[in-house]
Structure 1
Amino acid sequence: MAVCNSSVLEVCIAHPSNTSMLSAVGFIMMPITLRISVAVIMIFMIAVGFLGNAIVCLIVYQKPAMRSAINLLLATLAFSDIMLSVLCMPFTAVTIITVDWHFGFYFCRISAMLYWFFVLEGVSILLIISVDRFLIIVQRQDKLNPQRAKIMITASWLISFCMSFPSVVGWTVVEVPARAPQCVLGYTESLAHRAYAVFLVVAVFFIPFTVMLYSYLCILNTVRHNAVRIHNHADSLCLNQVNKLGLMGLQRPHQMNVDVSFKTRAFTTILILFIGFSVCWLPHTVVSLLSVFSHSFYYSSSFYIVSTCVLWLSYLKTVFNPIIYCWRIKKFRQACLEFMPKTFKILPIVPGRARRRVRPSTIYVCNEHQSAV
């Protein structure tokens, strides 16, 4: 591997093999102050992503009450983000500062495989969660229990590994920096290499995005339809639901306390994760495809800056997820406060009113002021 540096332009012959030698091409470097700033931000992201996702995993591991199917999936998503933070982001931060890859060509391929491996795993977990929400809310089928969730998690790890491993053995061109701050998909005219690159980005983004978008549109339509139906037939619906539950013997069934926002809030949390996934990964997917198919884009002087920005955005998801958990999920937020040392707890914890958890599989009832399905 030959890497050449200058004060303004970086020249790199990135690949040592005879089949994918590249001609020397210059590109515009980021200023040293900006490179250091980006690297410092990435180090902060590594710390926050590692600690935040580690707390999520510890909560699920240490608290048996938290080991529901959905929480096991969220813990797996957190673990994949931890691995991405620890095994990929530090090398990218070093390369951003030095504008050189110091870890060897073969580890470059391994790091690229690990990057796609953990990303594929995180995406597959989001896909499983979205399908589960679709089955519960639209199809009214609650089939995912903790045992089945463990089986699907194991299968997702195996499938993700099988899909990412070919990048190690040369099924696609993986460029060694300094053209980019990380080992990325490079330009190639080989149909086989292009086919695998397309397969990779389609599996990472386009298929999950399409399935999740369809699931959430159906869920939104179902929620809207139920809201209209409930609003128009509130009284009769309440009586029907109470009859189904066999509660007609109660003197005042309308005094029952029901968490009517359970389904909607859980769905909204997953929807926010989906939006975060789309925002963080759409630019990276587009840039990856352009890198493989567009000679002019890959050899342009701005490619280094563009690839740095999209890589930073893709890593931002590792920080984004645990923040959403603590913001949206009360039990995670309470558990996070328990893990914090007492010296950091500025505000006292106000005891809230105890409320029985409403499971997604139960039939919802309504009182004279609220209703749900």
Structure 2
Amino acid sequence: MAACNSSLLVACELQDSNTSSLSVVRYTTMPIHLRILLAAVMTGMVVISFLGNAIVCLIVYQKPAMRSAINLLLATLAFSDIMLSLLCMPFTAVSIITVDWQFGVYFCKISAMLYWFFVLEGVSILLIISVDRFLIIVQRQDKLNPYRAKIMITVSWLLSFCISFPSVVGSTVVDVPTRAPQCVLGYTESPADRAYAVLLVVAVFFIPFSVMLYSYLCILNTVRRNAVRIHNHADSLCLSQVSKLGLMGLQRPQQMNVDMSFKTRAFTTILILFIGFSICWLPHTVVSLLSVFSHRFYYSPSFYVISTCVLWLSYLKTVFNPIIYCWRIKKFREACMEFMPKTFKILPKVPGRTRRRIRPSTIYVCSEHQSAV
């Protein structure tokens, strides 16, 4: 009798010299019209993700003034999203239509490795940005310069590759569709495979989510406390202190709020990216863990539909990021308008915001009180 690995095959044919039988694990797929619609939407997502993130990379590459540390990190995040959309999403779209994997078992493992590789890189960049915002606003330490940013970007690429590469060379169970629209971690009882699956989801979601959540809670508390301090003590600033800050005089204390408003807005942009990351990746993380540890869930009839939905949601993040950049960051929005042909510039020009007068690391001192804005 021939043995069959149930973690890799949906249907296993068991034969001996006298009898043969076919054991089929049935699952529920989406109707053909819904699959075609979803594949068409994913194709549109590939186009939007590529164009939007490519513009972000071009802006940073072509404009030396935009090559700050934070913009280098955002460009790296955009590049990882481009690679994810080009090297993974098209194959998923084809598999959604055909309900089958047409590209071979070996490329299945490569596809899974690339998926985790680019996702890990994007998450690493978000983690670096959140820690940088925490140091600037909470600890009053602006240590990240372009040189250090490049070093951290290089380290993040190497670390992401080291974590994702075992899935293509080791014995890790990577399931070949038709059970899912993309090669995913399959159910296994091997302690080593389960440990690796836990390592992946912890590195992709739980550690970054915990660190970013703590950072942003501290930042929110600091911004709230600084707002109260500046409001209570703006009128009592002595003239000598105001003149050292380069302000116009006591009659215009609202200038201090300009820098605080800028930094609060910049932090809000990063916070929106964090919220988008959480919404897009929490369902995928839960489904990945259940797939590896729960035989009942992995072989349930609804697994295909559930995995399709969470994969689509995880890919949505690649479209989400460039839209947020153009919505929230004025320089990126203006640069996007420069790349856009004149015939498509139908939107009215947005009035510019008040320019910053104070460095982000400025510490406002009022008597015995301090606040880092």
Counterpart contact for 1:262–1:358, Cα < 8 Å:
no
Counterpart contact for 1:123–1:204, Cα < 8 Å:
yes
Change in 2 beyond 3 A, CA 1:233/1:192: same
| Count of aligned positions | 349
Letter in 1 for 2:44: F
Counterpart contact for 2:136–2:360, Cα < 8 Å:
yes
1:30 matched residue in structure 2: 30
Alpha-carbon deviation of 1:351? 6.2
Letter in 1 for 2:197: A
Change in 2 beyond 3 A, CA 1:347/1:215: closer
Distance of 1:24 and 1:281 partners within structure 2:
31
1:123 matched residue in structure 2: 123
Change in 2 beyond 3 A, CA 1:151/1:238: farther
Alpha-carbon deviation of 1:358? 4.3
Q: Is the aligned partner of 1:254 residue 2:252? A: yes
Change in 2 beyond 3 A, CA 1:327/1:251: closer
1:312 matched residue in structure 2: 312
- Farther-moved stretch of structure 1 (124-133 vs 171-180): 171-180
Distance of 1:44 and 1:350 partners within structure 2:
28
Change in 2 beyond 3 A, CA 1:88/1:147: same
1:86 matched residue in structure 2: 86
1:291 matched residue in structure 2: 291
Give the TM-score taking structure 1 as reference length: 0.88
Q: Tell me, what secondary structure is at the counterpart of 1:322?
A: helix
Deviations 1:339-372 (A, max 9, x none): 0001111145366477356432234699xxxx98
Distance of 2:90 and 2:277 partners within structure 1:
21
- Farther-moved stretch of structure 1 (298-307 vs 255-264): 255-264
Deviations 1:223-242 (A, max 9, x none): 11111222222223465742
Distance of 2:105 and 2:184 partners within structure 1:
12
Distance of 1:223 and 1:343 partners within structure 2:
42
Q: Is the aligned partner of 1:223 residue 2:232? A: no
Counterpart contact for 2:187–2:292, Cα < 8 Å:
yes
Change in 2 beyond 3 A, CA 1:210/1:251: closer
2:155 matched residue in structure 1: 155
Alpha-carbon deviation of 1:215? 0.3
Distance of 1:238 and 1:38 partners within structure 2:
63
1:12 aligned residue (10, 13, 20): 10
Structure 2, unmatched stretches of 5+, are 1-8, 13-22
Distance of 2:82 and 2:147 partners within structure 1:
23
Aligned positions of 1:139-178 closer than 5 A: 139-178=139-178
Change in 2 beyond 3 A, CA 1:24/1:353: closer
Q: Is the aligned partner of 1:189 residue 2:189? A: yes
Q: CA RMSD in A?
A: 2.3
Give the TM-score taking structure 2 as reference length: 0.88
1:112 matched residue in structure 2: 112
Counterpart contact for 2:186–2:298, Cα < 8 Å:
yes
Distance of 1:271 and 1:372 partners within structure 2:
19
Letter in 1 for 2:206: F
Distance of 2:317 and 2:230 partners within structure 1:
37
2:242 matched residue in structure 1: 242
Change in 2 beyond 3 A, CA 1:149/1:255: same
Q: Tell me, what secondary structure is at the counterpart of 2:10?
A: strand
Letter in 1 for 2:194: R
Q: Tell me, what secondary structure is at the counterpart of 1:28?
A: coil
Distance of 1:117 and 1:12 partners within structure 2:
27
Change in 2 beyond 3 A, CA 1:119/1:350: closer
Distance of 1:230 and 1:169 partners within structure 2:
57
Change in 2 beyond 3 A, CA 1:50/1:357: farther
Counterpart contact for 2:137–2:372, Cα < 8 Å:
no
Deviations 1:243-301 (A, max 9, x none): 653x59x7767388563311101100000000000000000000000000000000000
Letter in 2 for 1:212: M
- Farther-moved stretch of structure 1 (352-361 vs 69-78): 352-361
Change in 2 beyond 3 A, CA 1:167/1:232: same
Change in 2 beyond 3 A, CA 1:350/1:196: closer
2:362 matched residue in structure 1: 362
2:322 matched residue in structure 1: 322
2:341 matched residue in structure 1: 341
Change in 2 beyond 3 A, CA 1:139/1:176: same
Letter in 2 for 1:185: L
1:63 matched residue in structure 2: 63
Distance of 2:126 and 2:42 partners within structure 1:
24
Structure 1, unmatched stretches of 5+, are 1-10, 15-22
1:8 matched residue in structure 2: none
Q: What is the percent sequence identity of the aligned residues?
A: 82
Distance of 2:357 and 2:181 partners within structure 1:
47
Deviations 1:85-133 (A, max 9, x none): 0000000000000011010000000000000000000000000000000
